[in-house]
Structure 1
Amino acid sequence: MASGSLFLSAFDFGSPQDWQAKSRPLRKAVVLGKLVSIFLFSGRWILAWFLLLVCLAIQFGGVYGFRIETDISKAVFDSIQYKDFPGFVRYALEFLLVGSLAYSLSYLGVYVQNVFEMLWRNTVTVALTGNWLSGKRFYFIERSELVENVDQRLAEDVRNVVNGVFGIFTGCLRVTFTIILYTSLLITKSTPVTYHVFGHDITTRADLLLGAYLSSIIGTGIIFRIGRKLIRLNMRQQHYEADLRFSLVSIRRHAEQVALMVMERVEHLRIASAFSALVNNYFVQQRMGLIISFASQIISHVQRLLPLALAVPRYMSGRMTYGDIIQTQSVFVTLSSSLTWFMQMYPMYAETSASFDRLFVLVDAIQTPEKAEISLLRDSQDDIVARDLVLRVPEQAEPVLEVQEWTVRAGEKWVITGPSGSGKSTLLRAMAGLCSEGEGQLSLPRERRIMFLPQRPYLPHGTLLDLMLPDQPHSPENRVLCATLLRRFLLPGLVDQLDVGGDWSQRLSPGEQQRFALARAFVSSPDVLVLDEATSGLDQETAAAIYRILLDHPALTLISVVHARDLMMLHSKRLHIAGGVGRVMDNQEPPSGALLSLHRTS
C-alpha cells in the first residue's frame, strides 16, 4: 500500500467532501489539469520538458521549412516560364534539399511526439491505477457499481486522452504559427486588382486573404453543425465495445461452468445482442462520418479552386508571374487548411472528449466519499476487539449484524457459526476494511500480520513461485520454504512445477487452490489468519487434516467461518450469529436448534 499512497499524492484532489462541493465543470477542469501536470512536473520533469521543447521546435522548424519551400517553388516555375535552364537546375536542387529536410523534420517530430505520449501515458496510468487501488477504492467502486468497464478506462481511455490532448495542443500551436506566417506571406502576394461589379470598379488587395478566411470559417461552421452528434456516438460506441469484450472475457473465465450448465446458447444470444447494439451504433457513426468527410472534400475542392480564380486576373494583367500563381495557391491552401484545422480534427476531438468524459467518471468515483461510520483502528494491543458493532449493507434498511462485545486474544482459535446469510462474511469484510457502513468500533493489532483468505483464492497469471513470492526474492532459501509449505499442505505434486507459468486458477481444482492459498499465506508467517470457508472445496477428512496443521501453531490467532460440525469442534471458542445478533458461546456443543448446514455460502 505504500506505493498506492505515493501515487495517491500525484492525484490528490483534497478531501472527498471538498471535491464533491465543486461544480462538475470545475471538477473536469481540475482533472484535465492534473492529467497534464502529472508528467510535466513529475520526477522525470527534465526529460518531459526536453521532449516537449524538442517536439515544438521540430513542429515550428517544419512549418518554416515549408514556408521557405514555397519561395523556392515560385523560383522553379518562374525559371520555367522564362526558360532559364541553369536557374531551374539550381532551384530544383534547392527545392529537393529543403523539402527533404522539412519532411525529415516532420517524421522526426512524429517519433518524438510518440515517445512523449507513451511516457506521459505510462505516468498517468501508473498514478491513476495506484489511486484506484489505494484505500480499497477499486473494491467499493465495483461493489456499488459506480463505474463500468474500469479496465477500458485505465487502458484505452487514458491512451486516447493523452494522445488527443497532446495532438490538439501541439496542433493548435503549429496552426497558430502557420496562420501568422502564411497570412503575412499572402498579404505580400495580394497586389491590387480591379473587379467590375454591376457597372462599378472595385479595387482591392484583400480578396485573397478574405477568401481564405471566409471559406475556412464557413466550412468549419458547416462541419460543426453537421457533426455535433459524433461525440455522443463515439462515446456510445466505446461503451458497446467494452460490453462485448466483457461478455467474451466472462465466458473465457467461466468456461467450465458454462459448459457444465449447457449455457452455450444463452451466452451466444447474449453476445449476439451485445454485438447487434454495437453494429447499429457503428452504422449510425459511419453515416455521420461519411457526411462529414463528403462535406470536408467539397470544401477542400473549393479552397483549391478559389485561389486560382482570384489570382488569374492578376496574372492576366501582368501583376503576377506563373511562379506567383503556384506559390499563391500553395500558400492559400496551406492557410485555409490551418484555418479549418478544427474541422479536420473534429473526429479526434470527438474521440478525445468522449474518452475524457469516461475517464473523468472514474476519477470522480475514486473521489466519492465512502460512508465510514465504523471506527476501524489499528492500535498497539495484541487483541482483536469489537464493541457495540452494528453492520449494515446498502440494500437493506435493517442492520445485518450486531455484536455488543467480542474479544479475540492472541493465539486463540475462534469459529464463527450461523445460518447462511446471517452476516458471517460481512463481519470478516468489516475486519478487512471492506464494509464500513454501520456503527461501533473494531480494533485490530497494529504490529501483527493479519491475513484474510476468501473461499475463492486469487491466482493471477504467473509461475507458482511468482504466486507464492509476490514481493520476495526467489532465493534458494525461499524456494526451499515454498517446497516445504506445499508438502505440508498436501500439495507435493506442485513442488516440481514451481517454475511453470500459466493460469493456475484453471489448472488447479477448487480444493487445490484453497490448499495453495494456505501454503502461500504461511510464506509470510501470519500472526492472525482469518478464513472465510477457505476449506469448502476439500473433503471432510482433508479439511480436518489442514485444520490440524493450523492448530499446530499455538501462537497463531485463527478465526474461521465453517459449516461442518467436525471442523467447528476443532476450535476452542465460538461466536454464533442468529437473528442478526452475534454472541460468544461455549464451543463444546452446538447451539440449540442450530442448523449445521453443509451449504458453502454465507
Structure 2
Amino acid sequence: MSDVTAAGATGRPGTSDLRGFWRWVRAWLVAPDRGKARLLIAGVVAMTLAQVAIQIRFNTWNRDFFDALDKRNPDAFQYQIMVFLVLAALSMTAAVYQLYLKQLLQLAWREWLTRRLTKAWLHESRQYQLEAGAAEADNPDQRIAEDVRLAADLSVDFVVGLLVSITMLIAFVGILWSLSGPLDVVLGGMSFHIPGYMVWAAVLYALIGSGLTWWVGRPMVRIQVRRTTAEADFRFGLTRARESSESIALIRGEADERRGIDRLFGEVRGVWRELMRSQRNLMWLTSAYGTLAMIFPTVVASPAYFAGAMSLGVLMQVGAAFAQVQAALNWFVDRFPSIAEWRSATSRLVAFQDALDDLEALAADPEQTTISMEETKEGEPERLELDQLEIALADGTTVIAGASATIEPGERVLIKGESGSGKSTLFRAIGGLWPWGGGRIITPPREAMAFLPQRPYVPLGTLSGTLTYPSSAESFDKDKQVDVLERVGLGHLTDQLEDDQRWDRVLSLGEQQRLAMARLLLQEPRWIFLDEATAALDEENQDLMMTMLIDSLPDSAIVSIGHRPGLDAFHTRTLMLEKREGGAGFRRAAPRVVSERTRRRRERFLHRRMPV
C-alpha cells in the first residue's frame, strides 16, 4: 500500500512539458466552452499575414526610395514619400489590431486554462489531498494565478512570433535569392559558384547565433524553475505571517518570523544572482550578435555594389531583405530568455496537472488500494459503517488498522483516543477527504451530512452569506437567520447581517464555533460530525450548545471527536481508539446511560439564555 500512496503523492517528473502543454491546446480548441478561440486565432493570422504583405511592399519601396535619392529625382522622391505614408498607416492599423486580437486570445486562453485547473483542483477534496500528500504541487495558488498567466501569454506570443518568422522567411528568402545573385569564390585553386549567396550567409549567421545561444543560455531553464519556486515560497511565507499576525504578536514571535522570511528571501536572492549571471553571459553573446548584424549584410553585399552589379537602392533592398530573413531565422536567439521563463511556468503547471491526474487515477483505478467510499443505497436505512477500515498517511504509514463500527440514525457517538491515535484523520476519511488506506466506509447521502472541524471555515462576504454557507444567503429567511444567531448567543450581530467584513478576523474562535452551530440549526442535517467543534468554548457554553443542538435536532445522528469529560453526557455511546502495533483500533465501551442529574442539568441549560 505504501507504493500506491507514494505514486499518488507525487507528480511525474519525466512527463514532457511540451507534450503536456500541447494536450491543453488541443483540448481548448475542441472544448465546448472555448468561446471565440478559433475566430480570434483566424483574426490574428489574418493580421499577421497583412503585416507580412506590407513588409514585402516596404522592401520594394526601400529600393525605389533610395534609387530616387541616387538619381536626384524630386518627383519620384515625393511620390515615394506618399507611398510610405500609406504603407505606414496600413502597417500601424495591422499592428494595432494584431496586438488587440492577440491580447484577447491570451485572455481567453488564460481564462479557459484557469477554469480548467481550478475545477480540477477544487473537486472532490483534491485541494486538501494535494496539501496532504503531493509535494510536487506546492503553492497551487501561485501556479494557477502566475504560472497560467505566463504560460498563456508567452505561448500566444511564441506562436504569433513563429508565424511571423515563418511567413517572413518564405517571403524574403525568394527576394534575397533573386537580388543577391551568385558568388564566385576561388579557394586553393578551385572555383566555387554559389547561387543566392546572401541567403546562405543569412542561414549560416543565424545557425551560428542559435547554436551559441543554446549553449550559453541552456542553464537558464533550470534556474527559472528554481526562481519561480523560490518566489512562490517567499510569497507564501509573507502571506502566512500576515494571516497569523495575531498569534505572532501575542507570543512575540516577530524576530523568528523575520529570520524565516530572511531565509526565504535568501533563496530568492541566491537564485536571482544565478539568473543574472546567466543573463549576463547571454547578453554578451546577443549584444555582439545584434551589433554585427547591423553591418554584416552590407559588408557581404558590398563587392557586388563596388563592381557596379547593383545600385544603391538595390543594395539597401538587399540589406533590408537580409535583415528580415535574419530576423526570421533569429527567432530562437531573440526569445531564448522568454522561452526559459515559459518552460519554467509550463513545467510547474504540468507537474500540478500530473499531481491532480494521479489523485484522479488513484480514485478511479479499482486495482489501487484506497479507502472505498459508498453511500447508503436508495431504499436502505441510512447508516455510517466502517468496515475493516485502514487509514494511512500519504507516505504509507498506517495510523488506523482493522477498525469496524456501525452507527445508526439518531445515535450520538463520541470517538475518543489519545493524541496521535488518528481521530482527526478518521474524521477526514469519513468526509471523503482522505483516500490513503484500505477498507470500506458506507456513509449516509452526502447532502444529509454536515461536518464541523475545530476551526470552522469563514468565507469572505456578508455575515448572512457566512451564516448560510455553502448555501446562498437568499436560501433562508432573514427572520430565521436572526433567530439562530440569537439562540447561539450571537444576537449582538443580528444588525450586521448585510455587513461585508473579514469575519474570520472580526469574530473570535469561540464566536466562529457558535456561528458554525447556527449553520447546523439552519440546515438541519440528519447526520452531524463534530471534530473538537466546541473546544474554544468554556464548559458551560459547550454544554449549552450541545444541549441546544440535541433538542433542536433530536432525530439527527451526532458523531463527535473530543477530549473534554463533559462531552460524555451528551452521547449515548463511546468508541475508544487505542494505539496498537500496526495501527490504532476501536475498543468498544458500554452504552452510556444518561443520569437523572445530567438530564436535569440539560433542562436547566435549555431554559437559560446563552451568555454573550
Look up the match of 1:234: 224
Residue in structure 2 matching 1:585, options 590, 601, 606 = 590
CA drift of 1:389 comes to 3.0
Task: Check 1:581–1:18 CA distance in 2 against 1; reply closer, same or farther (3 A cut).
Answer: closer
Q: Distance in 1 between matches of 2:532 and 2:92?
A: 66
1:176 to 150, 166, 184: 166
**What SS is found at the alignment partner of 2:459?**
coil
Post-superposition offset of 1:164:
2.3
User: 2:352 corresponds to which residue?
Assistant: 362
* 1:11-410 to 2 correspondences below 5 Å: 28=17, 30-45=19-34, 47-146=36-135, 147-192=137-182, 204-368=194-358, 369-370=361-362, 372-380=369-377, 381-394=381-394, 397=397, 399-400=399-400, 402-404=402-404, 406-410=405-409
Count of residues in Structure 1 that have an aligned counterpart in Structure 2: 574
CA distance in 2, matches of 1:235, 1:29: 15
In 1, are the aligned partners of 2:376 and 2:383 still within 8 Å (CA)? Answer: no
Give the deviation of 1:448 after TM superposition.
Answer: 5.4
CA contact (8 A) 2:572 2:594 kept: no
Deviation at 1:88, TM superposition (A): 1.0
In 1, Cα distance between equivalents of 2:267 and 2:476: 55
Report the Cα offset of residue 252 of structure 1: 0.5
Query: What secondary structure does 1:558 align onto?
Result: strand
Deviations 1:89-108 (A, max 9, x none): 11111112112211321221
Gaps of 5+ in 1: 1-15, 591-602
- Shift of the 574–302 alpha-carbon distance from structure 1 to 2, 3 Å rule, reads same
Alignment map for 1:534-545 (pairs within 5 Å): 534-545=533-544
Tell me how far apart the structure 2 counterparts of residues 111 and 241 of structure 1 sit (CA, whole Å).
Answer: 30
Measured after TM superposition, the shift of residue 507 of structure 1 is 1.5
CA distance in structure 2 between the aligned counterparts of 1:514 and 1:84, rounded to whole angstroms:
89
Deviation at 1:144, TM superposition (A): 1.4
Which amino acid letter does the alignment assign opposite residue 90 of structure 2? L
Letter in structure 1 aligned against 2:410: G
The offset of 1:19, in angstroms, is 11
CA contact (8 A) 1:451 1:526 kept: yes
Instruction: Judge which range, 64-73 or 415-424, deviates more.
Output: 415-424
Structure-1 separation of matches of 2:386 and 2:188: 96
SS for the counterpart of 2:500 is coil
CA distance in 2, matches of 1:141, 1:411: 34
The alignment's TM-score, normalised by the length of structure 1, stands at: 0.89
Q: Which runs of 5+ in 2 are unaligned?
A: 363-367, 596-612
**Contact 1:373–1:438 (CA<8 Å) still a contact in 2?**
yes
Q: CA deviation at 1:44?
A: 3.9
AA paired with 2:112? T
1:63: Cα distance to partner?
A: 1.4
- Rounded to whole Å, the distance in 2 between the matches of 1:533 and 1:45 is 45
2:310 is paired with a residue whose SS is coil
By how many angstroms is 1:397 displaced? 4.9
Residue 529 of structure 1 and its aligned partner are, at CA, apart by: 0.9
What is the distance in 1 between the residues matched to 2:442 and 2:182? Answer: 88
Alignment of 1:549-564 (within 5 A): 549-552=548-551, 553-564=553-564
Q: Secondary structure at the match of 1:361?
A: helix
Tell me which amino acid in the other structure corresponds to 1:67: I
Aligned CA distance change for structure 1 residues 477 and 17 (closer, same or farther; 3 Å): closer
CA contact (8 A) 1:391 1:427 kept: yes
Instruction: Name the CA shift for 1:30/1:468 in 2 (closer, same or farther; >3 Å).
Output: farther
Give matches, 1:563-574, under 5 Å: 563-574=563-574
8 Å contact kept, 2:390–2:398: no
Matches within 5 A, 1:442-461: 442-446=441-445, 449-461=448-460
Decide whether the 8 Å contact of 1:401 with 1:423 is kept in 2.
Answer: no
TM-score (norm 2): 0.88
Change (3 A) 1:115 1:531: same
Greater mean alpha carbon deviation, residues 41-50 or residues 508-517: 41-50
Higher relative CO (Cα under 8 Å, sequence separation at least 6) belongs to: 2
Shift of 1:359: 1.2
How far the C-alpha of 1:477 sits from its partner, in A, is 5.1
Q: Residue 410 of structure 1 contacts residue 557 of structure 1 at CA under 8 Å; is this kept in 2?
A: yes
Three-state SS of the structure 2 residue aligned to 1:273 is helix
> Whole-Å Cα distance in 1 between the matches of residues 7 and 272 of structure 2?
40
For 2:159 and 2:245, the matched residues in 1 are separated by: 46
Look up the SS of the partner of 1:138 in the other structure: helix
Give the C-alpha shift of residue 419 in structure 1: 2.6
